[in-house]
Chains A and B, each alone.
Chain A
């Protein structure tokens, strides 16, 4: 400002001086010239002005300065003259002067110090190129701060009126922060000078709230004048302008309640007098940036989206907390799926989807404005709460005479706005409301009028409506109706081509033309059409009673589609040429009438009547044309029906009729009938009444001149089944080798098919045994006869055995299968000759043998007496002793009987009393001794373990190697039989019967028997069994028995007391030598007994 005023002050003065100088110029010129010459002379003598420099700040005048000559006094006066200029010279009391701007090119300038005799004149050559153009420092008119927006607004003038030309100006603006004047922003700003003073504005949004620190702004400029060829330089900086914020509150955090874009960077500061200890945003602590005083700031990068109530930023001091809330969200998304349509042509409803959520709620929520460009009208949508699933929609009232609407939907929130556009022709976007109040009104039995209400102003367009017609058990039908629209009235549509007396369900929906959308379907409306006269007469048939006098007339109820209403009654009339007989008003459920007629030809007429009227009559002739050439055929159906075929009958002028009945039904035979067109030659008769296995009778009638002739008679089954009962058969006659069987027919009801034959089974067998098994199982001993001649009722079975029981079964079969069988047992008669022979031959043989024996005995009676029954028994004749002796003689090694100490008494003492005598033992042992190899345990590993039996005489049990070879050694072999052992012997038995298991495997109780064993035997026992045994073990090493060979002397020695264990038994015979209990034991009486024994025992007994 100072510079500017200074400039203004200076300019008039300079102008005034130049005027004054111009007026005095003539007078002073000779004097001035003279002075100049003197000055030059003196200057050469004392010095001259030097270093002329010129600058300009406005391109209108140059400010030239020079250095005074040395020694020049303060009151020196200079005359500056410019060659070829008018006025050529200027006087100045200082060492500078302003001269008008010179034209481009060199100008000679002389500076002559006046009143200084010692100085001399100086000459300079001055060119514009040597002049510097330095504008004055610009002046800031105003610097203001928008604190909520953190924005500085700068205002200054360009002083364009000062400069002669239009030129470009570059402004450089610097923003300084804090007391320490940190440069935070330097920016250039380009404008042009246009000859008048123009005020310029510049705004800057600070990244830090302006409240946080003092902000200063400085400005300088650079004028780029294209006409000036000299050096152009930046002006000096303007004086700084400051902006600062002050408050009385103890502390505040800025910015407050700001809404920013997610992901942006932001600085928060706390303006406080207290020392801030920490700062946090949400859960995160932030490093502090110290500002002036105690003020601090934090810098947040890439801020994340806020929750509804915003993100809290809190600064904590020792005694207080200060904070602010920031709302980080998104600008509104472009509204999606903008759609505008009308339901009634009164208002347009535009709906849309807001798209991506903004995360801003409450007052920061998105507001929507729907504006229409043709009419310039708009409606606003504003919600305080962003509720999910709430539809976004706006209603825009339709304007009269405007069909085309150009809508713009603008979404706006503090972070920005977005738009969506849609151009609609409202008459083409009609989505009508659901038609309501459906009503139906009769036109006639086959047509109704449908009416409904549809709200809306459709006066200018057409409505396209669709009527859906639903009938029970029928496909639905859609019919389109085009109706001229109206303003909120009812609409009518006629619906024809309906069936009389039928329940229909109607519903309606509408659209407009051109089509946009169907409305929803209206509610359904059910309606029953009125009755019409039956369209056809009933299907009629007639049957004569068997007496031929009464005619029964049958008719079928009319189907609903032909009855056209509820049939109330039927009228039946019979008319001939002579008379007419009629029944009137036979009520509906009755579908037959009987009347007595003579044999005249009658035409029977049946008429059905409902409330609308009578049906056309259906007529049938009473006469039946006889057919002599008729035979009954058989037919089998397909399971559901039966196929009847016939040849074409040219005489059949009207329909064929097939009637049928259950074959077992009484006359008149009629279940149902069916009419077949006259040109047909076959018909498949199907009926729900048909059952498999039931015989039906079918009759085909041809129609000729109103009379019917029976053409074919067929019995058949729709499906054959197996007979349900067996044929009832009896035995008519029985002989010794044949049976005559007779049977009866099976009743038709139980046959269930056409009889194809019988199967007759027979075999030998008693009642009790044969009952258990069926005859029909294909066994080879069962004979079968297939009787395919169904007329055969008897069967003779020949080639049978006499007096033998036979099992007979008879079964019938059809194509459906085999029926059950009836069974019977028959015994053939005896063959008497064979029996007699069978008795006589044995008797004769017996007699002959007796006679021969008697003769022989008689003749040898003396020898017999001497041999068997001598008077004095001779011991030598004792066979038993001889036998024993012979054995002893043949075996010299046998010493048992010869040794006195070896008496059988030992055996007897140790064991239970036995019936076997001592002598028996020795005898049985003998063969063993002869074949010692067989008794070796190794020879028969599977045999029971044997314990050698030996005489308990210690003195004789000397180890004798030869004893092994000595086949004559007397030994008794014991065979262990578990059940026969005494408890003490059991461990031995268990161990020996299962040597693989070893002693250890036999856990549990063991007898505490002690047996003397050798150390070797003990070791062996310990090695084998010690580690395996569990539980209690016997204190006797029973293994010793195992190891002891029967032939081993040691074994005989050690077992001298144990020989009594077990039962001695012959190896060969396996017979118990000492039976455990008595002679009744079955084992003791087994196969081991020989005749020899028998005889030997006998004397003891």
Chain B
């Protein structure tokens, strides 16, 4: 399960390494779209696995706490009108910002779970895989940005040191929000990239 995903990531990560080459945007868009689709298949499983290991009420069937949010993580859900009003650069820029934050948060959640659930290799592996995929998608988006000639958004450290020293409950909640938003952002990325794909057909 993990190995093919990693191989896939490696192939998808190649384009951004050759940034200088002027390439058609269709190819990186297609690659990013494929990766986003692949990620989309696993997001709900990641969320379910995560909740399953956190105990009640997280592990209760149908658990949902939309009121829980993280200030360091931009929310993925926007109205269609707002989303539609964005141009390609803005859409890509927001998605990149979100996945950058998500990679950092997923790293943090992985560390937290290593301490809370050290005997759960399945959960830890899924968190690790999700982080690697988010990084891969980031690379693909960077390639698209380059191919479209858009300005590359600056990398920001969204987490800083603020998240350290949180209580176990806060860390559980944080992990829940991160895995949930990871799914939302992946859905949104699929939508963004589908739009781009339609605009730049290969």
Contacts and interface: CB of A to CB of B under 8 A. Distances in A.
Interface of A: 253, 256-257, 280, 282-283, 306-312, 314, 319-321, 323-325, 361-363, 365, 384-387
A321 B118 contact: no
Given A308-B119, A309-B55, 12 more contacts: A280-B56, A280-B57, A307-B55, A308-B116, A309-B116, A312-B172, A321-B68, A323-B173, A325-B167, A325-B172, A365-B118, A385-B119
Interface string B37-71: 00000000000000001111110100001011000
B6 interface: no
A320 B67 CA distance: 6
Query: 7 tightest A-B contacts by CB?
Result: A325-B168, A385-B118, A362-B115, A323-B169, A309-B116, A256-B167, A257-B168
B114 interface: yes
A79 to B, nearest CB: 73
Contact of B56 (A253, A312, A319, A362): A312
B169 A308 contact: no
Given A361-B118, A361-B119, A387-B119, A312 B167 contact: no
Contacts of B115: 362-363, 384
A386 B118 contact: yes
B67 A321 contact: yes
Interface secondary structure of A, over-half rule:
loop
B56 A282 contact: yes
A420 to B, nearest CB: 25
Nearest to B113: A309
B24 interface: no
Contacts of A256: 167-169
A255 to B, nearest CB: 10
Given A319-B67, A325-B168, A308 B117 contact: yes
B54 A309 contact: yes
Contact of B53 (A253, A309, A321, A324): A309
Contacts of A365: 118
Given A319-B67, A362-B118, A257 B172 contact: no
A314 B167 contact: no
On chain B, which size bracket covers the interface?
20 to 34
Contacts of B118: 308, 361-362, 365, 384-386
10 contacts: A257-B167, A257-B168, A308-B117, A309-B116, A314-B57, A319-B67, A324-B169, A325-B172, A361-B117, A362-B115
B120 interface: yes
Interface of B: 53-58, 60, 65, 67-68, 114-120, 167-169, 172-173
A282 B60 CA distance: 10
Interface secondary structure of B, over-half rule:
loop
A362 B114 contact: yes
Contacts of A307: 55
Contacts of A384: 114-115, 118
Contacts of A282: 55-56
Nearest to A323: B169
Nearest to B65: A321
Nearest to A326: B168
Contacts of A319: 67
Contacts of A323: 169, 173
Contacts of A312: 54-58, 169, 172
Given A312-B169, A312-B172, A323-B169, A386 B55 contact: no
A201 B136 CA distance: 60
A292 to B, nearest CB: 23
A1072 to B, nearest CB: 97
B47 to A, nearest CB: 16
Contacts of B120: 308
A791 to B, nearest CB: 98
Contacts of B167: 256-257, 324-325
A280 B54 CA distance: 15
Nearest to A325: B168
Nearest to A386: B119
A386 to B, nearest CB: 6
A310 B56 contact: no
Nearest to A320: B67
A361 B124 CA distance: 15
Contacts of A308: 53, 116-120
A321 B177 CA distance: 13
Contacts of B114: 362, 384
Given A253-B169, A320-B67, A311 B55 contact: yes
A256 B60 CA distance: 22
Among B67, B169, B173, residue most surrounded by chain A Cβ atoms (within 10 Å): B169
B168 A310 contact: yes
A385 B56 CA distance: 22
Contacts of A362: 114-118
A958 B65 CA distance: 116
A321 B67 CA distance: 8
A365 B116 CA distance: 11
Contacts of B60: 283
Contacts of B58: 312
A320 B54 CA distance: 18
Contacts of A280: 56-57
Contacts of B53: 308-309
A275 to B, nearest CB: 15
Contact of B55 (A253, A257, A310): A310
Contacts of A283: 56-57, 60
Contacts of A309: 53-55, 116-117, 168, 172
Nearest to B121: A385
B61 to A, nearest CB: 11
Contacts of B55: 282, 306-307, 309-312
Contacts of A324: 167-169
A325 B172 CA distance: 9
A305 to B, nearest CB: 12
A257 B168 CA distance: 6
Nearest to A313: B169
Nearest to A384: B118
Nearest to A322: B169
A41 B60 CA distance: 96
A312 B53 CA distance: 12
A1002 B62 CA distance: 77
A253 B173 CA distance: 14
Nearest to A318: B67
Contacts of A321: 65, 67-68
A310 B53 CA distance: 10
Nearest to A364: B115
B110 to A, nearest CB: 13
A256 B118 CA distance: 20
Nearest to B53: A309
Nearest to B118: A385
Among A257, A307, A309, A325, residue most surrounded by chain B Cβ atoms (within 10 Å): A309
A376 to B, nearest CB: 33
A312 B173 CA distance: 11
A384 B120 CA distance: 12
A212 to B, nearest CB: 16
Contacts of B67: 319-321
A312 B58 CA distance: 9
Contacts of B57: 280, 283, 312, 314
Contacts of A314: 57
B128 to A, nearest CB: 16
B118 to A, nearest CB: 4
Nearest to B57: A314
A293 B93 CA distance: 46
Among A253, A310, A319, A320, residue most surrounded by chain B Cβ atoms (within 10 Å): A310
A323 B54 CA distance: 13
Contacts of A325: 167-169, 172
B168 to A, nearest CB: 4
Among B53, B57, B68, B120, residue most surrounded by chain A Cβ atoms (within 10 Å): B57
Among A311, A325, A384, residue most surrounded by chain B Cβ atoms (within 10 Å): A325
Nearest to A306: B55
B79 to A, nearest CB: 22
A260 to B, nearest CB: 14
